[in-house]
Structure 1
Amino acid sequence: MTLLTSPLPALARDIDGKAISALVLDEVRAEVQALATQQVFPALAVLLVGEDPASEVYVRNKLLRAKDVGIRSLEYRLAQDASQQQVLALIAQLNADATVNGILVQLPLPAHIDEQAVIHAIDPIKDVDGFHRENVGGLVQGIEVLTPCTPSGCMRLLYETCGDLSGLHAVVIGRSNIVGKPMATLLLQANCSVSVVHSRSRDAAALCRLADIVVAAVGRPQLIDASWLKPGAVVIDVGINRINTDTGTRLVGDVDYASARTVASAITPVPGGVGPMTIAYLLKNTLIASQLQRTTLPRALAVI
């Protein structure tokens, strides 16, 4: 009997992203230790441009987790007014450095810098965010590539919660390049039937009510409530939204958690659900990148 076919609890159980991310980090740590016996030491370079407070926190957390699992981390900071050419020159330097396995450019970048130009300047085999067009295309074709961290983390949550996903109907709410589109592709690879709901969809709630799995990644606080869900659905809430309350501000997802858990069988809380998985899979991607680089012939980068 699987979660999706078992009797429904009074309230959905939480999918504990902190606990599952700890499992992923333990796996990465063990593989890093095994590589060390072969004198292989995976390294992640993180580039931060400017002084955005949220980005500062994200970078600090990523570097701390990298240290925890034994991945060498390199932090590069450029001023808010750094030119695009300065950013591209640093990326070229990191691309050429064989001791650097992963390159992460913390987004968003200052408005005067073209994010797409920066993303596509990273060597695809070092692109641990999985945003480069070569990795995006490879994902669609089913080739082993570096895949975006958040969708990969969501898939691990689903496997840990549901087991085999074959034949299940999944609805992805949102069609962003960072989450929605790669999420739909990964679900297809897991043999789900997949629908993508977006701002132009007709009767989005009715489409969602057909789903065994709902992945919400639309960026609108508490949009999805119980009326959108089939009884027993598994809900993955990717949204992180800050809202004002009578007692201050708090973080909520794209799903109305209190309402949805009266119908769903399992749901990710916000915070504590998807968020920890994103960092865990960034480090897993760094490990995968180091392994791919040891088995891939060197090649020249295309001129962007």
Structure 2
Amino acid sequence: MTALLVATLLPLSALAAGASGATTSEDVRSEARSAGPAGRFSVATLNLRKGMRVAGMRHDIRQVIGGGASVVGLQERLFSRPALRASLPESWTLLMPKGPTGTDDNPIAFDKDVWELERTWSALLTGRTWRRQTGQVAHDQYGVVAVLRHRASGHVIRAVSFHLPNHLHNRRNGGPNYANRAGVEAMWRMAHRVRALAENTTEGHQFVAMCDCNVTENRDTTDALVKGRITRPLRLETNYTGRAGGSGIDYVMGERDSDFRIDSFDSYRRLVTDHPGIVATFTRRS
């Protein structure tokens, strides 16, 4: 369930280190284009902060691209379409399906030299959502879905980028925060729709999920939140920022029953946005 860039990439630690002679993002893309089916691919999730401008978005996006990612799930798009597109390298494209308010809040960006788009759409995840502070109902919540075929290997992924409600997690007992019952119930509805997206994936395609899940990984101990509602029933393996400190709420998820499994991940923290960018590397199983 995670993107499949069947590329032989240098270790992410070497890319993140910024040492002299380090591989550039163009070198990474060049290797990705020439890679065969035996190899690995990287997928990123990046939550954008309200008020960022093109320079800041460009900086943050290029950090995770420099870490090897050829598919990036973005959350909380609060900028004009031209501004966000201007933040991407020339070979990249942005998937922001048009429709009712909210359909394009969580777009997916990918490198066209590495992936070929087969299909994209916005999936309604919940029509009744949350605003704990005001008690008002916000607009409908959507995830953006993309079916991508790797140009070198032919491997196909169904990737989804989405954002769960905030104030979901009771950090003392590891379960839902029932003071925000509306948000918790919205999360449950959204988890059900995400499972439906995964279960309807064409056989042979790999399901990948990228989200700001708003649940702290190392304190999520019940069956009512992300581990129990999404990762466990879908047999997803995940990378979290929680393992390296910080907020621990940004996830890259990949299907365990796949030729590609999560091998490692890197967290990028020196960003303009207020979330770390997470890059997960998938390695083909021997």
Give the strand-richer structure, 1 or 2.
Answer: 2
TM-score relative to the length of structure 2: 0.31
Larger radius of gyration: 1
TM-score relative to the length of structure 1: 0.29
